[in-house]
Structures are given as C-alpha cells and as structure tokens.
C-alpha cells in the first residue's frame, strides 16, 4: 500500500568539478613539448521537477541523500573533460522546497511545468595549458575541480485543491467525494477511515471546466495541537478557493461542531476562515420526514448557505454542485462566458 508522505528531509549535493590535466605534448620534430592539458568538466547539477503522476513524496521515504555525477578530468591535447550528468528529482505538484538550515522557501511548484535547479555543479579545474607564459613555458601544475553546492532541504507537499472538504470523522466526506468526482477513496462506517487526503476532479458544464476537491481526514477537537489525524493534513486546504463543511445531519449539535471545526482551522491558519464556505448536511435519507429536514435546516441557517444532501443516495448533489459553481467559481464562470461570447461574435463575422 502506498504511504502518503507529505513532508520529508533530504540532502542534495551537486557533482564535483573534474580536475584539470597536467600534460605535455610529445611531437616528433618538436624539441620541447608544450603544455596541452585540458580543463576538467563541470559537475552535474541537481534539478527538481514537477511530476503530475505523483501524489505523495513516498519515494523519498527510504533514500534521503542524492548526489549528481562528478565532472570528468581533462586530458592531453587540450581535450576538456565531459560535464557530469544532471540528476533530476521528481516531486508532486504543490510541493514546496525549503532550505532546512535557513528556513527560506526556495521554490513552490504551483505549475505543472515547474523546474528548479536547487544546487549547481562545481567548476572544472583549469589544465596546465592555461598557465603557460613567456616566463613559465612548462607549468607542471593544474587546478583541481571545485566542490558542487550542497543543501539540506525540506520538501513539504500542499495539495493544489480548489475545494477542501472538512468535517468530523464519519461525516460522509469520502462518500461525497466518490459521488461527485472520479476518485475512489476507501470508505467504511467507522471513525478515521481516511488516513490520507483524497483528491478528485469535478467535471462541469459538459467538461468545459474542471476543479479539484480534496477530502481532508476527519478533524477532532485538539487537531491543531496534534490530537488525532486532522492536523497532519490541514496544510492541504491552505491553497483552496472554498471550503465545504460536511456534517451528519443527525448530529446532536451541528452548531457546536461547526464552532469547533472553525476553531481548529483558526488555530492552524486564521486566513482559512476568510475563504468562502458552504454547509453540507449529509445523510438526510435516514429519515423520511421532510418537515424534520426543514427544522434542521432552520436551526443551522445562521452558519451560512446550507445544502441538505444524501451522498450515499445521490440526493441533491446537482444542487450542491450548482451552488459550489456560483459560490467558489463565479469569476471563472464569468470569464468562460465572456470567452464563449467573444468566440461566437468572431464566428458570426
């Protein structure tokens, strides 16, 4: 089973530069051969590159030290050594690269074509041909290559989700994700089923546009202080445009649960409370009394826009998606509509 690893420390060392050559040419009709030692090759760089097929940093679980190839030494006849091969390290989209010693953010992989040279290979040494002069015609020395750069890095993954689904354990978040996206998370009827974030893609308007949703493991009181599973994954909703708070509609005190969830988000990152949000009351299929549903809706109406659904029975899911469109993606929809109108006008011409 793949382990979801979203933070790891690694060490990276670029290649050492190749040594310059100390060499003298030997020619049949030349009484004194001149210096002709070539330069050493540059050491290989280490480059970090985004890989869309990766969703976790688990490949760095067992190997933590990486070194690029050293440059090759120079040779006679002024032949330069070959450059060391670059080493490419792949990371999931959304990975941040920090210098562990200074804490500086070096690069943030927010684009799928992202690439970052994290350490540079050492320069190759000069061959003895460079040190020939009128007063020193037979230099018997050359330069060694330089060390490649070294860094101690922290790779920290923050999923690039557009919408984060948060709630208490067993609220039905994974079931909801599985019904409105193509994700297939593990689902069971007990607390803490989800041990890692699940990602799914929602396709809207005949697949004209898409957005990504992340199901964050169930949060319990104290998550921001390290209790339970939620804290480990709160980072994965830091980039979202909107948050779905999902509750079991039969919960005893939804208002108090909502207050607790917001308190945990505030403790982790207060800015999260400024994101647009929707309240989702799940599992309304467990009773048949519509008036009771209305009563529950009325009791929590002060929390924001509330949508009652049954993820399991697929009740009101289209309504939920429509409200999400207008609440979280209004700007994108307006731009899409503008582009469609512009295209239509150009076609008419």
Q: Is 172 annotated as a binding residue?
A: yes
More confident residue, 347 or 85: 85
Residue 285 among known ligand-binding residues:
yes
Q: Is 347 one of the annotated binding-site residues? A: no
Lowest mean pLDDT among 34-38, 104-108, 206-210: 206-210
Q: Contact at 8 Å (CB) between 187 and 215?
A: no
Higher pLDDT, 200 or 60: 60
Q: What pLDDT is stored for residue 190 in this prediction? A: 41
Consult the annotation and say whether 282 binds a ligand: yes
114 in Cβ contact with 106 (< 8 Å): no
Residue 248 has pLDDT above 80, yes or no: yes
The annotation status of 218 as a binding-site residue, yes or no, is: yes
170 has binding-site annotation: yes
Residue 174: the pLDDT is 87
Over residues 284-304, mean pLDDT: 87
Mean pLDDT value of segment 25-42: 77
pLDDT category of residue 181 using cuts at 50, 70 and 90? confident
pLDDT at 188: 46
Predicted pLDDT of residue 341: 60
User: Would you say residue 228 has pLDDT above 70?
Assistant: no
**Is 276 marked as a binding-site residue?**
no
- Measured distance between the N- and C-terminal CA atoms of the chain, rounded to whole angstroms: 57
Is 96 annotated as contributing to ligand binding? no
To the question of whether residue 174 is assigned a binding role by annotation, the answer is yes
Phi, psi for residue 202 in degrees, rounded to 5 = -95, 130
Q: Flag whether 168 is marked binding.
A: yes
- Known binder of ligand: residue 330? no
Q: What local confidence, expressed as pLDDT, does residue 210 receive?
A: 84
| CA atoms of 83 and 160, how far apart (whole Å) | 36
DSSP at 236: G
Q: Is 310 labelled as part of a ligand binding site? A: yes
269 is in an annotated binding site: no
* Domain extents in the chain: 7-157, 163-346
Task: Encode pLDDT of 330-348 as tens digits.
Answer: 887 777 766 656 555 566 5
The two counts, helices (H) then strands (E), for the chain are: 6, 14
The verdict on whether residue 19 carries a ligand-binding annotation is no
pLDDT on residue 112 = 82
How many percent of the chain have pLDDT more than 70? Answer: 85
Q: Is there a binding annotation on residue 216?
A: yes
pLDDT band at 191 (very low <50, low <70, confident <90, very high): very low
pTM: 0.74
Distance CA 70, CA 78 (A): 20
pLDDT for res 349: 56
Q: How far apart are CA 278 and CA 319, in angstroms?
A: 12
Q: Give the model confidence (pLDDT) of 2-25 as tens digits.
A: 567 888 999 999 999 999 998 887
Is residue 217 marked as binding? yes
CATH of 163-346, one of 3.90.650.10, 3.10.450.50, 1.25.40.10, 3.40.50.300: 3.40.50.300
d(CA 195, CA 218) in angstroms, rounded, equals: 9
Across 106-131, average pLDDT: 91
The pLDDT tens digits of the residues spanning 138-173 come to 788 888 999 999 999 999 998 888 999 998 888 888
CATH number (3.30.540.10, 3.40.50.720, 3.40.190.10, 2.70.210.12) of 7-157 reads 2.70.210.12
Strands 198-204 and 209-215: antiparallel
Spatial separation of the C-alpha atoms in residues 235 and 166, rounded to whole Å:
12
284 annotated as belonging to a binding site for a ligand: yes
Task: Kindly state the average pLDDT of the residues 258-275.
Answer: 89
The pLDDT confidence band at residue 1, using thresholds 50, 70 and 90, is very low
Answer yes or no: is 283 a known binding residue: yes
């Amino acid at each position: 089973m793949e382990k979801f690893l979203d933070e790891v420390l690694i060490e990276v060392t670029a290649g050492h530069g190749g040594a310059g050559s100390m060499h003298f040419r030997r020619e049949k009709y030349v009484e004194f051969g001149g210096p002709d030692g070539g330069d050493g090759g540059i050491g290989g760089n280490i480059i970090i590159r985004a890989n869309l097929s990766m969703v976790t940093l688990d490949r760095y679980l067992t190997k933590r030290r990486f070194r690029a190839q050293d440059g090759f030494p120079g040779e006679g006849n002024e032949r330069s050594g070959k450059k060391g091969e670059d080493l490419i390290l792949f990371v999931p989209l959304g990975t941040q690269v920090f210098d562990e010693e200074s804490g500086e953010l070096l690069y943030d992989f927010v684009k799928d074509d992202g690439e970052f040279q994290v350490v540079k290979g050492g320069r190759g040494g000069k061959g003895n041909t460079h040190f020939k002069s009128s007063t020193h015609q037979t230099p018997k020395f050359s330069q060694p290559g330089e060390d490649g750069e070294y860094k101690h890095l922290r790779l920290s993954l923050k999923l690039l989700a557009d919408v984060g689904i948060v709630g208490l354990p067993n609220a039905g978040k994974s079931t909801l994700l599985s019904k409105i996206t193509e994700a297939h998370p593990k689902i069971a009827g007990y607390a803490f089923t989800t041990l890692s974030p699940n990602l799914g893609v929602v396709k809207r308007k005949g697949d004209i546009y898409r957005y990504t949703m992340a199901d964050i493991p169930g949060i319990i009181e104290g998550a921001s202080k390290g209790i339970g599973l939620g804290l480990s994954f709160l980072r994965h909703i830091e980039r979202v445009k909107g948050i779905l708070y999902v509750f079991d509609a039969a919960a005893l005190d939804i208002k108090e649960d909502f207050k607790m969830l917001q308190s945990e988000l505030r403790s982790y990152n207060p800015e999260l409370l400024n994101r647009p949000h929707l309240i989702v009351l799940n599992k309304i299929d467990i009773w048949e009394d519509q008036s009771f549903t209305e009563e529950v809706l009325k009791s929590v109406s002060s929390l924001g826009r509330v949508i009652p659904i049954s993820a399991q029975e697929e009740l009101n899911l289209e309504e939920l998606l429509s409200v999400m469109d207008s609440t979280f993606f209004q700007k994108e929809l307006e731009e899409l509509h503008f582009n469609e109108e512009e295209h239509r006008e150009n076609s008419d011409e």
